[in-house]
Structure 1
Amino acid sequence: MLNCSGGWKVMRQISANDVWRSTASPGTIQPPMAVLDFAHLTWEEVRDLDRTKAVAILPVGAVEAHGPHLPLATDVIIAETMARAAAARLAARGHDVVLLPPLAYTAADFAAGFPGTVSLRPATVTALLVDLARSLARHGLRVLAVANAHLDPAHLAAIEAAAAQTRPDTGARIVFPDVTKKPWAQRLTEEFRSGACHAGRYETSIVMAACPELVRESLRRSLPPNPRSLSAAIRSGQATFEAAGGPRAYFGAPAEASADEGAHTIEILGGLLEEAVLAELAR
């Protein structure tokens, strides 16, 4: 779980109360519900959740190379910030929100050539997510929102497969806004939309906002831009960072990153996940 000494400094520890006070319409009387760390609850506290309004959020990332300046857990950090931003918004709307411990291991073959990267078979990831969703559903937590920050194509396909498998025979629902697709992607930064966004300005800015002490600043400032589009390389059939033109496992312009941009992006990501959950609940 997110444990950075500088974490959320820029975001001012935004809570459900903050969101509620800023968005409640005149005459609104319902206060925000709780945002709870699932692993810190007792079984009786889980039993007593309001299942009709409860949402579980699972941060999902990878342990993989993110340039010479960012930690291996970059995706996990981004996923947790996205999850907490969405949780505050959903709680302000009257939902009990439980934040699950993050899933930090997944399919990451694109970065497999770099020391420290850990990769699982996509089928393993799909099976894990399906089992997790079904297990939570047995206890009345039927909506599992995936706050995903890892964009390896095999990983995205594994989540999509899990979402499809939970629908036919169980009450479990996996909510997954794939930010690589419209309309989600068009609301993110210019670098993200360009496809040159692995450990570049986009991701580095978020880590600077959430866990600044984990950014190797002297290296970050010295890195030249790498304008090669990772998404274009994937479409052309490349299967590794090296083949895609990222010999140091970064794409984009990390030297241009800022904590202010990162804080703004976190808010956007939280809003995207909130919208996806609300759309699913309205079905």
Structure 2
Amino acid sequence: MTLRRLPDLTWEDVGALDLDRTVAILPVGATEAHGPHLPLDTDVTIAAAMAEAGGRRLSAHGLEAVLLDALQYTPAAFAASFPGTISIGGATLAALLTDLAASVQRAGIPTLAIANAHFDPTHLRALHTAVSAINAGGVLRAVFPDVTRRPWGGRLTAEFRSGACHAGQYEGSIVLARSPERVRGEVMRELDDNPVSLSAAIAEGAQDFVAAGGPQAYFGSPAAATAEEGHATIETLGDILSEAVIDALGTETWPRTKEQT
């Protein structure tokens, strides 16, 4: 089966899908400051890459993978003081996700997978709130592999695991792999490392990037980013998404590929 994009389909195309075996994939990111070198939609770029890589794997398992348009406006309070950042409330995001899920359900699609690449704490709480509400309904299955939690995060790069990860080597590498023309390469190569752990700063009570130790809205080692690392990370993210869906569905629900037998 092939990977499809919902905006490219007609309503008749959607109706003709093998709906019982269809998974809708929603990329979720943010529009927020990512240093002086990466575009505001870096998280959206990463989420879309994860969704596509995961969708290809699910298609290889005989499932219908349908990519939804990315959700790119979410809570982003940590970057709110930087020009260009757009932030909404957590309740707004949770309500939007549950409404979106209701539409997916009405279309007859039984599974919604979320490919998330934004880690603002309010944003993550809203995602978990929405997923719990959706799953409590008992009709649509929502799958959300949160890479800030075990076991998923341990499979990502050392910088990601360190918590010093926002517009650094991890994120910069993925954007270089996906859209190198959108990276300010000369600026990126001149940036000093910022080894401050954003996740630790959040745990200690920091409320924005500046207070957390990121006055230029980046953490980590942006100058070390490479497209090669980005391609490898995208493949890992695709594995994470597809494996989470497979775990949720149960291995008996589709034919195994040759690699699995």
TM-score greater than 0.5 by the shorter chain: yes
1:74 is matched by which residue type in structure 2?
T
- Alignment match of 1:276 (pick from 218, 223, 244): 244
Number of residue pairs aligned between Structure 1 and Structure 2:
251
- Alignment match of 1:113 (pick from 58, 81, 92): 81
2:189 aligned with 1:221, yes or no?
A: yes
Within 5 Å, which residues of 2 pair with 1:25-44? 33-44=1-12
Distance apart, 1:282 and its partner CA: 1.4
Equivalence for 1:173:
141
Distance apart, 1:168 and its partner CA: 2.3
Aligned 8 A contact 1:225 1:253 in 2: yes
Query: What's the Cα RMSD here?
Result: 0.8
Give the Cα–Cα distance (whole angstroms) in 2 for the partners of residues 188 and 166 of structure 1: 28
Within 5 Å, which residues of 2 pair with 1:30-109? 33-109=1-77
Give the Cα–Cα distance (whole angstroms) in 1 for the partners of residues 136 and 233 of structure 2: 35
Equivalence for 2:121:
153
TM-score with structure 2 setting the length: 0.95
Higher mean displacement: 86-95 or 164-173: 164-173
Aligned 8 A contact 1:133 1:142 in 2: no
SS at match of 1:263: helix
Per-residue CA distance 1:51-101 (angstroms, 9 max, x = gap) = 111000000000000000000000000000000000100000000110000
Aligned 8 A contact 1:34 1:91 in 2: yes
Query: Where in structure 1 do 4 or more consecutive aligned residues deviate above 4 Å?
Result: none
Give the Cα–Cα distance (whole angstroms) in 2 for the partners of residues 135 and 170 of structure 1: 15
Distance apart, 1:134 and its partner CA: 1.3
When you count helix as a share of all residues, which structure comes out higher? 2
2:217 is matched by which residue type in structure 1?
A
1:216 is matched by which residue type in structure 2?
R
Instruction: Give ranges in structure 1 of 5+ residues lacking alignment.
Output: 1-32
Higher mean displacement: 133-142 or 36-45: 133-142
Identity of paired residues, percent?
Answer: 57
Aligned 8 A contact 2:23 2:64 in 1: yes
Equivalence for 1:243:
211
Give the Cα–Cα distance (whole angstroms) in 2 for the partners of residues 247 and 94 of structure 1: 47
Give the Cα–Cα distance (whole angstroms) in 2 for the partners of residues 227 and 272 of structure 1: 26
Give the Cα–Cα distance (whole angstroms) in 2 for the partners of residues 247 and 113 of structure 1: 10
Per-residue CA distance 1:150-189 (angstroms, 9 max, x = gap) = 0101101100000111122341121100000111111000
Per-residue CA distance 1:134-161 (angstroms, 9 max, x = gap) = 1111111121100100010110110000
Within 5 Å, which residues of 2 pair with 1:120-139? 120-139=88-107
Give the Cα–Cα distance (whole angstroms) in 1 for the partners of residues 2 and 168 of structure 2: 34
Instruction: Give ranges in structure 2 of 5+ residues lacking alignment.
Output: 252-261
Equivalence for 1:10:
none
Aligned 8 A contact 1:134 1:170 in 2: no
2:219 aligned with 1:265, yes or no?
A: no
Give the Cα–Cα distance (whole angstroms) in 1 for the partners of residues 3 and 55 of structure 2: 6
Per-residue CA distance 1:91-145 (angstroms, 9 max, x = gap) = 0000011000000000000100100000000000000000111111111112110
